[in-house]
Structure 1
Amino acid sequence: MTASTNNLLPKLRMNSSGFTLIELMVTIAVLAIIVSIATPNISSQLANQRVKSTTATLLNALKEAKAESVIRRQEIKLSYDNDGTNAGTIEIENASEVFDTYQYDARSTIKSTASQIEFKPSKTADAMVYTICDSNDSASPRQVVITAVANISSQLGGSCP
């Protein structure tokens, strides 16, 4: 009786070791389905992050321009340039010199009624609304609002063509 049990164990070991080709193919198919579901969410999250980053860059530049106008007692202009292939640029300048330059991702775009805003030493500015969009249409646009008394705020909203 023990002899027949000893002969059975090596056969079981040989039959149950490793995975079959079908098991591996099913596992790979399930992984492929999960990845295909997750990919659009990841790309829209990255696009939203680019919009947030560009918004933060614009906010910092606007706040710096506002502060420079008060400190220097001069009119300070902030302008932006959406360069489609390279990073976009934001410049802070007065009549004679450029104080600072910021860059943002080329896939993000800034839109407004005018390409520059002017901050005055009397703590006023041109009222303006900037809309930040991304090349990925699934990203949520953001707006930066500057009031006539130079209050700067950010919010979700706006429309991107």
Structure 2
Amino acid sequence: MNNKGFSLIELIVVIVIISILLSIAVPMYSSWVKRQGIAKDTKKIFSELNYLRLKAFTTKDEYSLCWENNPFKVVYIKKNGNKEGSLSLKYEFVGDIGLGYNCVDFSPDGTADHTGNIRINDVNSKASIDCVDVSRFRISLGKWSEGECKNY
């Protein structure tokens, strides 16, 4: 009897076990990637808002972060009303700033002219961070829950 190598049955059992493990792991990984992507986009918006607030305060100019439609995947940066650049996002977000206003404006003293929130369009997002709350003097990250952005 030749004891070198594996039998066909042993090989099939190993392939079945690997297939079962992969069928469990791949959906979990995909879900994890989506949650991390949402958190990353939310942090991008948060960072850009803080940067524009600082820029408005230090240069004594007006800066804005704007979007054209709700939901949106691209935000525009404006200086004194003129478009300066844009920021692309992977996921769709919804802005709820003031009464249908589509910009977060920072005056030369660094305060926000309109308050509200920017959140992921998917209200069932399982990401740990999925919204940005904008108040007159503060910008904070949060988790969207029960119709509001709860500070993180």
Using structure 2 for the length normalisation, give the TM-score.
0.78
Distance of 2:24 and 2:69 partners within structure 1: 33
**Match status 1:100 vs 2:111:** no
Per the alignment, residue 67 of structure 1 pairs with 54
**Match status 1:110 vs 2:93:** yes
Per the alignment, residue 109 of structure 2 pairs with 122
Number of corresponding residues: 141
Distance of 2:125 and 2:120 partners within structure 1: 13
- Greater helix proportion: 1
Correspondence list, 1:48-87, <5 A = 48-80=35-67
- State the Cα distance separating 1:133 from its structure 2 match: 4.4
- Which 4+ residue blocks in structure 1 deviate beyond 6 angstroms? none
| Ranges in structure 1 where 5+ consecutive residues have no aligned partner | 1-11
Identity between Structure 1 and Structure 2 (%): 23
| Ranges in structure 2 where 5+ consecutive residues have no aligned partner | 148-152
User: Structure 1 residues 42 and 83 mapped into 2: Cα distance closer, same or farther (>3 Å)?
Assistant: farther
Structure 1 contact 77–92 (Cα < 8 Å) conserved: yes
The 3-state SS of whatever aligns with 1:112 is: strand
Structure 1 contact 70–123 (Cα < 8 Å) conserved: yes
- State the Cα distance separating 1:117 from its structure 2 match: 1.1
Structure 2 contact 61–80 (Cα < 8 Å) conserved: no
Distance of 1:83 and 1:148 partners within structure 2: 22
Structure label with greater radius of gyration? 1
